[in-house]
């Protein structure tokens, strides 16, 4: 481990901020979950065993895209391979993984969260539930990577949820939105059979967003976000 503790200092602080915010919102409980942000070929990622709701920048480890620790004094999270896999396949800028209660509850019974609200189009629409595999394994990373195809979010069976985005703020917003939608779905399912938006309704939302210059729909490449 080399000492480059000053490297990516703002990003390490931002990861700690994001964890404390997600903790305050009830999405990160104890040491469960992990958050990372990528700057070119460096990733600032939460250390294993850290209490995330109280995280400080010195509990954020720096790794390269092969997972080699290049800064910080602590070992990175056991879900490092999942994070690196998302960066390699989707070129994301940040990742949030939580064991958020609503998403985890849905993961026990659903194969996907239907597109029950137009805001879910921010995540790409219907959110898939990735088949279960043991935490920290290549099988889990593979399962989640496939579930993320064309999406900014996936639910992980009997485990939790993951979101990714070009920026850390957006990945956090996605995590909060997904947890809200999972809660809404559960309230609705207790009353009856939740209706989902059909394809025509979803398309109309995307068209309306484009017409109003909202940068909200997922299928737009990252470089165009913020320009519409
Ligand atoms: Zn986990």
> 18 C-alpha vs ligand 1 centroid, how far in Å?
17
Q: How far is the CA of 160 from the centre of ligand 1 (A)?
A: 6
The 10s digit of each residue's pLDDT in 66-85 is 999 999 888 999 999 999 99
79: annotated active-site residue: yes
Of 118, 116, 115, nearest to 209 by C-alpha is 118
Q: Per CATH, which fold does 9-214 belong to?
A: L-fuculose-1-phosphate Aldolase (3.40.225)
Residues in the chain: 228
Ligand 1 centre to CA of 161 (Å) is: 8
Positive or negative, the Cα torsion across 46, 50, 53, 54?
A: negative
Q: What share of the chain is helix, strand, coil (3-state, %, to 5)?
A: 40, 20, 40
* CB 197, CB 205: distance < 8 Å: yes
The model's pLDDT over 160-200, given as tens digits with 9 standing for 90+, comes to 999 999 999 999 999 999 999 999 999 999 999 999 999 99
Per-residue pLDDT of 123-148, as tens digits, reads 999 999 999 999 999 999 999 999 99
Q: Which tokens go with 87?
A: 């960066």
Q: How remote is the CA of residue 112 from the centroid of ligand 1, in Å?
A: 18
Distance CA 64, CA 175 (A): 24
Smallest CA-to-CA distance from 64 within 137, 7, 13, 146 is with: 7
C-alpha of residue 209 to centroid of ligand 1, in Å: 33
Distance, CA of 154 to CA of 164 (rounded, Å): 9
Sequence-distant (≥ 6) Cβ neighbours of residue 207 within 8 angstroms: none
Return the sign of the alpha-carbon dihedral for residues 145, 149, 151, 156: negative
pLDDT per residue as tens digits for the range 108-118: 999 999 999 99
- Give yes or no for residue 225 having a pLDDT over 80: no
Q: How many CB atoms lie within 10 A of CB 175?
A: 32
Report how far residue 226's alpha carbon sits from residue 214's, in angstroms, rounded to the nearest whole number: 8
pLDDT at 1 over 90: no
Ligand 1 center–CA 167 separation, angstroms: 21
The helix-helix angle for 168-191 and 9-24 (nearest 10°) equals 20
Phi, psi of 106 (to 5 degrees): -60, -35
- Check pLDDT > 60 for residue 206: yes
Q: What is the pLDDT of residues 29-53, one digit of tens each?
A: 888 999 999 999 999 999 999 999 9
C-alpha of residue 1 to centroid of ligand 1, in Å = 25
Q: ∠ at Cα 16 (19, 10), nearest 5°?
A: 140
Position of tokens 């921010």? 122
Exactly one of 7, 25, 54, 79 is catalytic; name it.
79
């Amino acid at each position: 481990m080399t000492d480059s503790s000053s490297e990516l200092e703002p990003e390490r602080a931002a990861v700690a901020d994001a964890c404390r915010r997600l903790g305050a919102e009830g999405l990160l409980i104890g040491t469960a979950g992990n958050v990372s942000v990528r700057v070119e070929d460096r990733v600032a990622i939460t250390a294993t065993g850290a209490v995330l709701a109280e995280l400080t920048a010195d509990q954020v480890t720096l790794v390269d895209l092969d997972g080699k620790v290049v800064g910080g004094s602590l070992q990175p999270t056991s879900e490092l391979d999942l994070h690196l896999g998302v960066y390699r396949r989707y070129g994301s800028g940040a990742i949030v993984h939580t064991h958020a209660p609503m998403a985890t509850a849905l993961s026990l019974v659903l194969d996907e969260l239907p597109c029950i609200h137009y805001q879910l189009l921010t995540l790409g629409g219907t959110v898939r539930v990735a088949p279960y595999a043991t935490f920290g394994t290549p099988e889990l990373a593979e399962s989640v990577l496939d579930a993320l195809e064309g999406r900014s979010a996936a639910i992980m069976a009997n485990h939790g949820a993951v979101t990714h985005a070009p920026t850390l703020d957006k990945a956090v917003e996605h995590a909060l939105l997904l947890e809200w939608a999972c809660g809404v779905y559960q309230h609705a399912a207790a009353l009856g059979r939740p209706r989902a938006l059909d394809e025509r309704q979803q398309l109309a939302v995307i068209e309306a967003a484009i017409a109003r210059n909202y940068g909200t729909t997922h299928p737009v490449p990252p470089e165009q976000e913020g320009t519409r």
